[in-house]
Amino acid sequence: MSCTGELRLPEKGVPFADPVYGTTVVRITDKQADGYAGNGIQNEYAKADAYNSDNSLIILRSNDAHWYLYDASDYRLLRDLSGIVGLQEPEPRWHAEDPNLFYYLHDTKLMQYDIAAEQQSVVHDFKTDFPGCAVITTGTEGDASRDRRYWCFMITDEMFTLQAVCVYDMIDDKVVGTQTAFPDSVNFVSMDASGSHALIGYNSLPFQACSRDFSRCIDFAEGAAGHGDVGLSADGRDVMVYQNVANDFIAMTDLETGVETRLLEIPFSLNTDIGLHVSGNCYAKPGWVLISTYGAKYPRSGESSTWMDHLLFMLELKENPKIIKIAGTCAYTSLFPDAVEKNYFAEAFAAVNSAGDRIIFGSNRGVLYPSDYSDAYEVRLPDNWYAIEGNAR
């Protein structure tokens, strides 16, 4: 593993090689140099692409909920974006083609921000469709379709009580589907890459994939309720990849057929302290997802480290998949698994960009105080990484 022994914090902006896998890693942020608020900062989550369409800009979230714009070439902090924050997390999502535009949520509105003009504008106010609406949200884990045409939102009142889930068509500027009855409390919603399916994540029950108008919904298999993300198979089919908590596999479900494919067993028999996140944003390289794993620095007594610990790896979306190990995350939620206080922001939740050539993730590199410390790190993937022979497990 490349995260062993005493770790040193690398200098901001100076590339270094992962000592095991040889990939180039760069520390993007440094509180002393950047002056951001709070004790740590990183990308928002594994499901959101932090990079704009031409990889020139990055949006990062400090761990006390401030938002910042960074230059992706020299990693300068360019602008404090915290003014976009309303009642909910703004969930900024980049425009599919224009590198100067991103969308965000503010109270009942889907908004657009023009970076060059420093101007904000309203795309749609959902209070016109749902008079009782006070907040729109995906639950901070959703995204629009790849082309940004279709969006799925939870509609809540001022107490954040769910009123409805809807699908919005940005081109036609109208709500095209609404659902108001649910078998369980809703944790998150999202669209798939093509915009054909709305995803509903429940607190206890398996995921559901629904048509845009909610006339047809498919329940996922038992256990399909762990961390996951939508992606594209090698032949361009919409899928969701996730941890199946019933059988302890990383699995994939075809959103049209509902058929689940087991991809990779998680080695819980050796180490029960393995957590993982999935990022399926690499639409330009279909047939792959990024997996990032997290946990305590030292396993429980009687348990051992595994090949999957504290690691970034690309996982091929087929049975008996190829695994390409990218870099160690060196992100530790605590010293030991049973610690009372854990650093949520040391879960890495790495995200791959839509071009499939950069990864961004958070890491504390073993620094456990302050308890919410992390910095953002970038890995630039080698050309044709998907053609590299797979690593042994």
The answer to whether residue 257 is domain-embedded is no
Task: Judge whether 393 lies within some domain.
Answer: yes
**156 lies in a domain?**
yes
Residue 5 clears pLDDT 70, i.e. is over it: no
- Examine the pLDDT at 156 and tell me if it is beyond 70: yes
Same domain, 212 and 315: no
Residues 75 and 101 in one domain: no
Residue 6, pLDDT > 70, answer no
Q: Identify the domain boundary among 219, 236, 254.
A: 219
pTM: 0.97
Is the pLDDT assigned to residue 2 strictly greater than 90? no
Q: Which residues have CB under 8 Å from 272's CB, separation 6+?
A: 300, 303, 337
Instruction: Inform me whether the pLDDT recorded for 392 exceeds 90.
Output: no
Domain annotation covers residue 363: yes
Domain termination residue (choose one: 150, 184, 219):
219
| Percentage of the chain lying above the pLDDT 90 cut | 96
Is the pLDDT at 376 greater than 90? The verdict is yes
The reported pLDDT for the residue numbered 81 is 97
Same domain, 58 and 96: no
pLDDT exceeding 70 applies to what percent of the chain? 99
Contact (CB, 8 A) for 152 and 190:
yes
Tokens of 234: 């090698």
Average pLDDT of span 154-174: 97
pLDDT at 161 > cutoff 80: yes
- pLDDT over 80 at 7, yes or no: no
Q: Please check the confidence at residue 116 and state whether its pLDDT lies above 80.
A: yes
6 and 128 part of one domain:
no
Residue 198's domain is classified under what CATH number? 2.130.10.10
Claim to verify: residue 75 and residue 170 sit in the same structural domain: no
Same domain, 165 and 190: yes
Mean pLDDT computed over 33-58: 97
* 102, 187: one domain: yes
Q: How far is CA 284 from CA 46, 187, 232, 330, in A?
A: 17, 28, 9, 28
Mean local confidence (pLDDT), 320-344: 96
- Looking at the 3D structure of the chain, how many domains does it have? 2
Answer yes or no: do 367 and 342 share one domain: yes
Residues 213 and 121 in one domain: yes
Say if residue 202's pLDDT is above 80: yes
Supply the range of the domain harboring residue 161: 88-219
pLDDT at 87 over 90: yes
Within a domain: 67? yes
Model confidence pLDDT, tens digit, residues 358-371: 999 999 999 999 99
pLDDT of residue 89: 97
pLDDT averaged over every residue in the chain: 96
Q: What is the mean pLDDT of residues 347-368?
A: 97
Residue with tokens 């105080």: 369
Residues 130 and 168 in one domain: yes
Q: What is the mean pLDDT of residues 250-265?
A: 98
Does the residue 230 lie in any domain? no
Q: What is the pLDDT of residue 389?
A: 86
**Three-class DSSP labels, the chain:** CCCCCCCCCCCECCCEECCCCCCEEEECCCHHHHCCCCCCEECCCCCCCCECCCCCEEEEEECCCCEEEEECCCCCEEEECHHHCCCCCCCCEECCCCCCEEEEEECCEEEEEECCCCEEEEEEEHHHCCCCCCEEECCCCCCCCCCCCEEEEEEECCCCCEEEEEEEECCCCEEEEEECCCCCCEEEEEECCCCCEEEEEECCCCCEEEECCCCCEEECCCCEEEEEEEEECCCCCEEEEEEECCCCEEEEEECCCCCEEEEEECCCCCCCCCEEEEECCCCCCCCEEEEEEEECCCCCCCCCCCCCCCEEEEEECCCCCCEEEEEECCCECCCCCCCCCCCHHHCCCCEECCCCCEEEEEECCCCCCCCCCCEEEEEECCCCHHHCCCCCC
Q: Kindly state whether residue 266 falls inside one of the protein's structural domains.
A: no
Asked if residue 188 belongs to a domain, the reply is yes
Per-residue pLDDT at 222 exceeds 80: yes
Average pLDDT over residues 63-75: 97
Let me know whether 93 and 186 are in one domain.
Answer: yes
pLDDT at 3 over 90: no
> Residue 388: which pLDDT band, with cuts at 50, 70 and 90?
confident
Same domain, yes or no, for 96 and 73? Answer: no
Which of the listed residues 176, 193, 219 is the one where a domain comes to its end? 219
